[in-house]
Structure 1
Amino acid sequence: MIGKTVLITGAAKRVGRSIARELHEAGANVVVHYRAAADTARLLVGEMNAARAGSALCLQADLLDRGALSALVEQAVAHFGRLDALVNNASSFFATPLGAIDEAAWTDLVGSNFKAPLFLTQAAAPHLRQARGAVVNITDIHAERPLAGYPLYCAAKAGLLGLTRALAVELAPEVRVNAVAPGPILWPDDAAFDEAFDEAARARIVDHTLLKHAGSPQDIARAVRFLFNDAPYVTGQVINVDGGRTTHL
């Protein structure tokens, strides 16, 4: 990816941070988007620029603000002169038991997991077409096999999975669009999840994978790198990085 520019949403921490580091190590110029984690984003960008001067930039935006999405793309292009790849990684996650779902939850979960990737990809499309670039959406294995207690999150991720295939049609033949669906990689930062899934429950989830161990953020990052670098004839597809969990859910 030497000389190419990639924009990664939610790249200041967790899986997004690993994706940013992986693609930077592959030679890409990296735009680290963040919403609130300014210090963490700046630290990451500082590390990248120390390794390779002028190779990283951090940009703040609230992805629920549609107007900020076009500005995010234009700032990235203005700085690096091009945009070759987009990773829609940023995601809200929290429980929404049926009967307690409200408009705020809808706006947050659907906004971050479905609406923002749609409008951000739309804004980036002219630049991606020009570069004959690619998009990778980070979905979830629960997009196809819902997790009890999280119907709205699962539906939003299912929307993103469908959007991945639809955008692959819309942006062909210039731009490839694929998805990576994590399984048990990092446990969510969600109090309701912690309450519902104690250590024993988490152990059962891991034991249900064919490989009998949890994955790492680097597993997701390497899958993203593969789709950008080594899969020129792959589009409209989803790779489940889940240790085989979905094989027999």
Structure 2
Amino acid sequence: MSAPVLISGTSRRVGRALALHLAESGFSVLAVNRRSLAASHPCIEQVEADLCRHDEREALIGFIRSRYQGLRGIIHNASAWLDDDLASLEQMYRLHIEAPFYLNLELGELLLNEPRADIIHICDESASRGSKNHIAYAATKAALLNMSLSFAERYAPSVRVNAISPGLLLFKEGSDAAYQQQALAKAALRFEPGAAPLLEAVDYLLQASYSTGSNIVVNGGRHLKQSI
């Protein structure tokens, strides 16, 4: 059994596209979600776990250790985009910071068992600029981005640890035309790109020979339009 790539948050949208893309590219994928993927693939094994819960993280780690001798990689894609209140901050802290930190530490030995392994943190371009409307989200994603640097140093040279910081990929479900036009106007490249930019960045990092502790920003030039 080949060492899988563990991907969290693959039940829908970009995460689902990523799991299917890597499976179709020949990787074994261990998809971790609170609920199962809507579509299956012979190269995808699905495990249900709520990564905000310590007991379910413990069960997940025990399952992986009992089943696999190594991991080809971990892609932390699970994310929550919630309003700014204390309860939401706590939930996003657990999902964006605590869960990746814990999984990276507890599964580090399995990563080191492979001749080449990768950890990829899916962050957000707001991590480097903040967000007045989603302060907690931007702050927890900034912590995840920073954590990439520390784990890159800890696990070098056999494990590469990098981050990807996307901007708009897919419109929010149920968004109206006015919102969509406003969102597009924030970038230099004014179109909804879908999952492709993130898939391309993941493909690059999984084969890159000389990249660790790096952050790939795929935001359509949003940083060029800061005055909007």
* TM-score, with length taken from structure 1: 0.83
Shift of 1:200: 2.4
Return the alpha-carbon distance in structure 2 between the equivalents of residues 207 and 59 of structure 1.
39
Question: For residues 154-211 of structure 1, what are the alpha-carbon distances to aligned partners after superposition, in whole Å with 9 as ceiling and x for unaligned?
Answer: 100000010111111111112111111111112345x9xx5xxx53243133123222
Confirm or deny: 8 A CA contact 2:10 2:31 kept in the other structure. yes
Q: Aligned to 1:246, which of 207, 216, 223?
A: 223
How many angstroms does 1:67 deviate by? 3.5
RMSD: 2.0
Q: 2:60 aligns with which of 59, 65, 72?
A: 72
Distance 1:73 1:224 in 2: 23
Provide the secondary structure at the position in 2 that maps to 1:32. Answer: strand
1:64 Cα deviation after fit: 1.3
The corresponding residue for 1:63 is 51
Structure 2 residue 163 is the aligned partner of structure 1 residue 152: no
Are 2:18 and 2:199, in contact at CA under 8 Å, matched by a contact in 1? Answer: yes
Displacement of 1:139: 0.3
AA aligned opposite 2:224: T
**Stretch moving more, 164-173 or 152-161:** 164-173
Tell whether 2:217 aligns with 1:234: no
Asked if 1:44 is matched to 2:39, the reply is yes
Name the residue aligned to 1:17.
16
Of 74, 88, 99 in structure 2, the residue corresponding to residue 86 of structure 1 is 74
Instruction: Name the residue aligned to 1:6.
Output: 5
Task: Tell me if structure 1 keeps the 8 A contact 2:15–2:77.
Answer: yes
Q: Percent identity?
A: 29
Alignment-derived partner of residue 158 in structure 2: 174
Partners in 1 of 2:213 and 2:224 — Cα distance?
20
Match of residue 139 from structure 1 = 123
Q: What SS is found at the alignment partner of 1:76? A: helix
2:32 is the alignment partner of 1:33: yes
Counterparts of residues 121-136 of structure 1 (less than 5 Å): 121-131=104-114, 132-136=116-120
Distance in 1 of aligned mates of 2:189 and 2:201: 17
Alignment match, 1:52: none
User: Structure 1 residue 22: deviation in Å?
Assistant: 1.4
In the alignment of these two chains, the number of paired residues is 225
Query: What do residues 41-86 of structure 1 show as CA deviations (whole Å, max 9, x unaligned)?
Result: 1x423xx11xxxxx22100111112243243244235445431110
- Which residue of 130, 143, 161 corresponds with 2:145? 161
Other-structure match for 1:219: 197
Deviation, 1:127, is: 0.6
One-letter code aligned to 2:18: I
Distance 1:188 1:138 in 2: 18
Per-residue deviation, 1:3: 4.1
